[in-house]
Structure 1
Amino acid sequence: MPVHPLPARDAAADDRLLADFAELSAIGATPAGGVERQAATPEDGATRSWLARWLADRGFTVVADRVGNQFGLLELVPDAPYVLAGSHLDSQPRGGRFDGAYGVLAAAHAADRLRAGLAAAGRTPRYNVAVVNWFNEEGSRFEPSMMGSAVFTGLMPPETALGTTDVAGTTVADALTAIGALGERDVFGAGAPHTVAGYVEIHIEQGRELDKSGTTLGLVHRTWAANKYQISVLGEQAHTGATAIADRRDALYGAALAVVALRDLADRYGEELHTSCGRLTVLPNSPVVVPREVRMHLDLRSPSDALLAEADAALRATFAEIEVKADVRIERHVAHTWTGQDYPPAGVALAREVARDLGVSFMPVQTRAGHDSTNLKNAVPTVMLFIPSVEGISHAEAEFTADADLCRGLDVLTETLARMVEGALDRA
């Protein structure tokens, strides 16, 4: 039976969520309705401070670990493990205000509703609750993405994360120190004071399936595979006017062929393969100089590991042809990869049960994008939930999710969290 720490449709709770979301969205706001709060910038720091005040005012203990993951600890059972709920507050440049931030704020509201409901009922759960804001999920300033949760789950050494630099040469450690967000020790895990019993995350879909079908909730059961690369196209610097075309080793020409090759791959495989290219750095970037080098980020994603491997091999073959045609050399370095993987079936089943009990329409969905839950799901019992994104727009100022979906998502998250702290996934 539903636990219902608060009634499923509580108008006052909805109003509080929306008011807080509007206040949060004002930090780093852009003229067209988005936000810009890249990881460990002053705007990100202001957002983290806002969350810390919100949590502290409601009795949470706010701490950061040694790679900047921010936690709001709510101890309900002394010495018991914690169920984590959250997402991320950092954004893309001129990003949307819903991506990540909704999941953190919804987790904070769900935990606070749960605390109040348990106190009113005189109940003691099995586990504690912690709200989490993962550091650098977006990977726009510091690569790779999902950095904080990767360190948390042992997929990346903390020293690697802290030594990573942005394009200006600032390290993660220095950037976190500058905004007062660098903790001194781990908060969870071996040798740390706390342990984890589970994780739940709610996020906008960043796709069109829920919006197209008029469905309220997505039950994430699988993630697409992804290969992300840094490549360098190496040519030779020369004069744009004096150097004969036949004599040029134009790195930008080679890079342009690589961009077209990526799109041709996507067209060849249809919706089973997504490709992209971003962050081109052209050297020396002078109007009268043939570029000697172009550095760029490539991204291939697919629901099929086999198809991704096939497309990757095809791209490597095309690169060899580009090297001959443009008289350049292409160096490729792996930035971040993961295979297609299922989410824990018990977590999907729990989310389905909650949706049915609350009368919420739902459907199974795959996530094309990476999320912090992508890392957590292999470490602890995990639930991943989606709410609709209008027209699937994301990583853009036009990103939008309706108020009703934000509020209904909070209801589902609260009930899911309530069941998890009662041990619903203990045998997962």
Structure 2
Amino acid sequence: MTDTAFLEDFHAVSRIGATPANGVDRQAATPADRETREWFRAFAERRGWETRVDGIGNQFALVELVPGAPYVLLGSHLDSQPLGGRFDGAYGVIAGLHAAARIADRAAASPAAGSTGPAYNVAVVNWFNEEGGRFAPSIMGSSVFAGIKREDEMLEVRDLGGTSVREALAGIGYLGTDARPEIASYAEIHIEQGRILERDGIPIGAVDRSWYTQKLDVEVLGEQSHTGATAMADRHDALLGAAKVIAKVHEVTEHFEPETLVSSVGQLILEPNSPIVVARRVHLVADLRADDADVVLAARDRLLADIADIADAYGLRITARDFDVRDNQHYPESGLALAEAAAAELGLGARRIRTMAGHDSVAMNRIAPTVMLFIPSVDGVSHCEREYTRDEDMIDGVAMLAEVGWRLVHGALQAEFVAAPASAPANA
């Protein structure tokens, strides 16, 4: 597979669900998501690869190198945020497909399986609902695969319109029943979504750890009333209370060293959402992340105290529930060394780097030896239409992933192998 072929495929997929400002809108289990899945399936079938879809909508392309052997799994996700960027996730899937094709071609030109041949097969995955924009929580498909989330519970999650995951997947023809492949290891490549690699002029990041992350599911309950006829002293305005909570979520970072903690509120639901009605209910999700778990927990405790004060001051009832908590994940040292050696072999600079964002590799790292790679993001911008990575950086990343994958199919990291969930019950 050539670099030109990769770029043609990447830019073709970027046209699916394209927005006027060069982004994409391909939320999970929508018609645009289905179109990218059909593209993935066609890519695999043209090459004679087996395709599968499991019970949570994860999509696999399987390349047999050693009959009966487990698989080295490469991939990421094709779904996007609303008005998202065209690189986030999709790059890793398309790079995975092209890397797998290069590995297959290289294996065909190499001696047969044996002392110098591959020990494992290779597969590519398009994980379901990594973004979590339509269905919460995010990183859903890989979390089910890894046994962190229950498949039956995730299938019943509903979007804001009331459609369940089960209904949405069935609606696009991707509620599968196929067996999940047994895996030996996992590798993922992704845009950095930060500025470190661009700032340092380094083409490859080897991810050594993830940040501790936790969300608070906050419900603010007041009393619905008339915006004109209700005296100010008699109001119990849920939106006002929510605004105060949002301000506190932002301000909590000021109690810690700069850049130690990041926080945000990214989703807000208002009822009844009428211009002449004082709001009776607001639902919001607060997101807290830091490298140090103790920092997140201290920020959470401070926010809970602030929320209680806001409820008392404005005559509201506010509840805050811990949601989507993810501890720090440290990627295996041997995987980092493998990535550094592969980069050196290719003449690419590499540095170790942390990930503040969540990725499917965070889930997979719990069950199999995992390598997570980054390529630069221009201006560090992501989850928006302005997201951009240069063609030459994407090409370097494909070569890097193919080299890492080649080493993995020859047994690298297997001293750290932990049995994958293929034999585990889907609802474990």
TM-score for the superposition, normalised by structure 1: 0.95
CA distance in 2, matches of 1:327, 1:345: 53
Task: Report the alpha carbon displacement of residue 94 of structure 1 after superposing the two structures with TM.
Answer: 0.5
Task: Report the alpha carbon displacement of residue 113 of structure 1 after superposing the two structures with TM.
Answer: 0.7
Aligned match of 1:352: 340
1:126 to 111, 119, 122: 119
1:267 to 243, 247, 254: 254
CA distance in 1, matches of 2:329, 2:108: 38
CA distance in 1, matches of 2:322, 2:14: 34
Aligned match of 1:240: 227
2:154 to 156, 161, 167: 161
CA distance in 2, matches of 1:158, 1:73: 22
Aligned match of 1:55: 44
CA distance in 2, matches of 1:144, 1:324: 30
Task: Report the alpha carbon displacement of residue 416 of structure 1 after superposing the two structures with TM.
Answer: 0.2
Task: Report the alpha carbon displacement of residue 334 of structure 1 after superposing the two structures with TM.
Answer: 2.6
Q: Counterpart amino acid of 1:38? A: Q
CA distance in 2, matches of 1:183, 1:335: 28
Aligned match of 2:165: 172
CA distance in 2, matches of 1:17, 1:240: 57
CA distance in 1, matches of 2:342, 2:88: 23
Aligned match of 1:192: none
Task: Report the alpha carbon displacement of residue 387 of structure 1 after superposing the two structures with TM.
Answer: 0.2
CA RMSD of aligned residues (A): 1.0
TM-score for the superposition, normalised by structure 2: 0.95
Q: Is the 8 A contact 2:119 2:411 kept in 1?
A: yes
Task: Report the alpha carbon displacement of residue 247 of structure 1 after superposing the two structures with TM.
Answer: 1.1
Worse overlay, 332-341 or 102-111: 332-341
Aligned match of 2:425: none
Identity %: 49
Task: Report the alpha carbon displacement of residue 153 of structure 1 after superposing the two structures with TM.
Answer: 0.5
Aligned match of 1:334: 322
Superposed CA offset, 1:109-143 (max 9, x none):
00001111111223431000110000000000000
Aligned match of 1:117: 106
2:406 to 411, 418, 425: 418
Q: Runs of 5+ in structure 1 lacking a partner?
A: 1-11, 189-194
CA distance in 2, matches of 1:122, 1:340: 41
Q: Counterpart amino acid of 2:193? A: Q
Aligned match of 1:20: 9
Asked if 1:210 corresponds to 2:173, the answer is no
Aligned match of 1:230: 217
Aligned match of 2:135: 142
Worse overlay, 346-355 or 252-261: 346-355
Q: Runs of 5+ in structure 2 lacking a partner?
A: 417-428
Task: Report the alpha carbon displacement of residue 231 of structure 1 after superposing the two structures with TM.
Answer: 1.0
CA distance in 2, matches of 1:20, 1:342: 33
Q: Counterpart amino acid of 2:35? A: A
Q: Secondary structure at the match of 2:109?
A: helix
Q: Secondary structure at the match of 2:394?
A: helix
Q: Counterpart amino acid of 1:424? A: A
Q: How many residues are matched?
A: 411
Task: Report the alpha carbon displacement of residue 358 of structure 1 after superposing the two structures with TM.
Answer: 1.4
1:286 to 274, 281, 290: 274
Q: Secondary structure at the match of 2:2?
A: helix
Aligned match of 1:253: 240
Q: Counterpart amino acid of 1:220? A: V
Aligned match of 1:6: none
Q: Counterpart amino acid of 1:208? A: R
Q: Which runs of 4+ in 1 moved over 4 A?
A: none
The equivalences for 1:361-400 within 5 A come to 361-400=349-388
Task: Report the alpha carbon displacement of residue 268 of structure 1 after superposing the two structures with TM.
Answer: 3.0
